[in-house]
Amino acid sequence: TCFNLRRSGVFPMTKEGIVEIRALDAPIGAEVKGLDLREALEPETRDRILKAWYDRQVLVFRDQVLEPEDQVAFTKQLGDTGMPRLPSQAVREILPELPPEVMIVSNVRVDGKPLGLPHDGEMWFHSDMCYAEVPHTATLLYAVDLPSKGGDTLFADMYAAHERLRPELRMKLKESLALQVHDYKRTDRPARDLDQSKIGNYAHPVFITHPETGRKALYVNRLMTARIEGFDEMVSDQILDELFNVSEDPSIIYAHCWCPGDLVMWDNRCVNHARTDYPAEERRLLRRTTIVGKEAPKA
């Protein structure tokens, strides 16, 4: 049973027709009720969903019965769908019917082969595809199989992280870039001696401006940010430590404890996410789709 949505204390944001959107009793996040995501969205409902998403950064749709094609069709109604950056041949062999837009996020192995990048156990905070020049803006994750405990996804509010930084540090890093890399590990800092020609990497502003809300967000994370450009290694590490600690403060986090049929959509421009550990011997399988960005994040 999932108790984390803490339904008591929710407050209505808007209520038109039968679709209800309520803020979760958490620093960020809203639950959208009254929709079957297999149905086409009314334009007005689509606008409300996007507005709530910009306001609350994470949206939760519960009790959905979605085939992979339904998830792609729903994603397409909100924007242009992204392709997994590392399409896995193994997945295509095992699941030939899977639409190419869908990535499997799982610890399951078939004949010893993972279904894409292995998603076992804990994963540190990160922002999807921050190492690309134009990262995907939205990620939509749909829960199929879940372990009996753990495997929660944590969402941290990067607007709040930006606001909470020491003003001197905010000033010092105003013009700075941070190198983001895809050195795929789940619970370790990027290696120091990375061969950048072999991995996805891009230097983005440390603080980015969300193109829809105009708000500033901190855009670094423990898993994928290798360094702050223009500082020596030791100073960069010290600064990053401070930024990571602020950005992972429990008071700015919504922890989503999954139920099968949940679809959660988050905004990679203002939310970092992480996964808590879960038993290795239990199955966890979710399907991921994304919406592409239109331009590189700007300061």
Footprint of ligand SIN (CB under 6 A): 105, 119, 123, 128, 153, 273, 275, 286
Q: Smallest distance from the beta carbon of 186 to ligand SIN, in angstroms?
A: 9
Q: Which of 31, 128 has the CB closer to ligand SIN?
A: 128
Q: Which of 22, 119 has the CB closer to ligand SIN?
A: 119
Q: Smallest distance from the beta carbon of 100 to ligand SIN, in angstroms?
A: 18
Q: Smallest distance from the beta carbon of 182 to ligand SIN, in angstroms?
A: 12
Residue with tokens 């990375």: 194
Q: Smallest distance from the beta carbon of 40 to ligand SIN, in angstroms?
A: 27
Q: What are the angstrom distances between the C-alpha of 239 and each of 81, 183, 201, 226? A: 35, 21, 20, 12
Q: Smallest distance from the beta carbon of 120 to ligand SIN, in angstroms?
A: 10
DSSP bridge pairs for 129: none
3-class DSSP assignment, residue 224? coil
Q: Which of 129, 240 has the CB closer to ligand SIN?
A: 129
Q: Which of 22, 288 has the CB closer to ligand SIN?
A: 288
Residue 214, classified by CB atoms within 10 Å of its CB into exposed (0-12), middle (13-18) or buried (19+), is exposed
Distance from the Cα of residue 10 to its chain's centroid? 23
Q: Smallest distance from the beta carbon of 43 to ligand SIN, in angstroms?
A: 30
Which residues neighbour 60 within 8 Å (Cβ) at sequence distance 6 or greater? Answer: 5, 24, 29, 30, 31, 32, 256, 262, 263, 264
Q: Which of 216, 273 has the CB closer to ligand SIN?
A: 273
12-21 LR contacts (CB < 8 Å, sep 24+): 13/52, 13/55, 13/56, 14/48, 14/52, 16/44, 16/48, 17/45, 19/45, 19/48, 21/48, 21/49, 21/52
Tokens linked to 164: 């909470």
Question: What is the Cα–Cα distance from 198 to 274, expressed in whole angstroms?
Answer: 25
Q: Smallest distance from the beta carbon of 273 to ligand SIN, in angstroms?
A: 6
Q: Which of 269, 273 has the CB closer to ligand SIN?
A: 273
Which single residue brings its beta carbon nearest to ligand SIN? 153
Q: Which of 41, 261 has the CB closer to ligand SIN?
A: 261
